[in-house]
Amino acid sequence: MSKKRILPATEKRNRRTENIDMLPTRKIVDLINSEDMLIAPAVAKENKNIASAIDMIVERFRKGGCLFYVGAGTSGRLGVLDASECPPTFGVSPLLVQGIIAGGKRALVRAVEGAEDLADDGAKAVIRKKVKAKDVVVGIAACGMTPFVRGALRQAKKLGAGTIFITCAPEAVKQLPAQIIINPIVGAEVITGSTRMKAGTATKLILNIITTTVMIKLGKVYGNLMVDLNATNEKLRDRSERIVMEMTNLPRTKAKALLRKSCGKVKAAIVMHYRNADYKQALQILDDCGQSLRKAIEITR
């Protein structure tokens, strides 16, 4: 007798929106918005698991490990997006957080049909990235069933890497090959199966929380200031100057001069100011303090 296939929540029909095509524009917008309001509370219910995932990642980063997101379609794109935003925001190497998407780079801008269906391809992608035991692999699949993602997680587990799975399908939880499972239950989509909507938004929220909190724990943030950013454009250069001005009470001209002396590194500039140090000395002070700006300047403030 064949085993009955369980339909994941992400593929079920949303009875609240089944007549959405008959509504006027404003009513459609209101209905979509009302469904979106269910997302944040669903994510909040997973805060304990999210915190456990963060602690795992921080622990392995401190041992020299890296973080890899693995997904297909929307899930894969969200992983790549989060990874790509870490270097400019927190000044980390592009290798620290990496995204793996089924179908490769082409799948970032155009759907690659069938790329997600082979578990072996997911395993091979993990091998190609040279994932090690000190790393963490986060599988992202709204439905929880994606073979590419499951294959990647199983391979990561064989290698001894930390494993985390993010899914919006409670039906899949018991079968997932991961140490930590984050399962925000956002319910059926506005358009049946369109997981770029509620599931995608929930995933983006979770990834934001994970990498932001990890970087806070690693000393990349002072208060709520982005003190390790890479000033790669005019907006970020202006932000760097404003952070130095706020932290030191210097006028903009002097903040600019200090940043020039610190090769544009905000943390170093602030340490130079408070510890009356040159650039090399400031870098050494930060290293001695585990890159914590708070520790580096607290004795002088």
Out of 35, 46, 116, 171, pick the active-site residue: 116
In the numeric block, the tokens 């490990």 are attached to 65
Q: Return the amino acid letter for 14.
A: N
Alpha-carbon distances of 19 from 2, 14, 118, rounded to whole Å:
34, 10, 36
Q: Which residues, in sequence order, are bridge partners of residue 182?
A: 166
What's the CA gap between 262 and 238, in Å, rounded?
15
What's the CA gap between 260 and 70, in Å, rounded?
39
Out of 11, 18, 59, 85, pick the active-site residue: 85
What's the CA gap between 235 and 225, in Å, rounded?
15
Closest C-alpha to 57, from 228, 173, 180: 180
Q: Are 189 and 195 in contact (CB under 8 A)?
A: yes
Alpha-carbon distances of 54 from 65, 159, 217, rounded to whole Å:
13, 20, 9
Can 11 be counted among the known catalytic residues?
no
Buried b vs exposed e over 124-138: b needs ≥16 C-beta within 10 Å?
ebbeebebeebbbbb
Return all residues near 299 (Cβ < 8 A) that are at least 6 apart.
none
Can 46 be counted among the known catalytic residues?
no
Sheet strands (E) in the chain: 67-71, 97-101, 136-140, 162-166, 180-182
Helix (H, G, I), strand (E, B) or coil at 204: helix
What's the CA gap between 264 and 222, in Å, rounded?
17
What's the CA gap between 268 and 271, in Å, rounded?
5
Q: Which residues are catalytic, by number? A: 85, 116
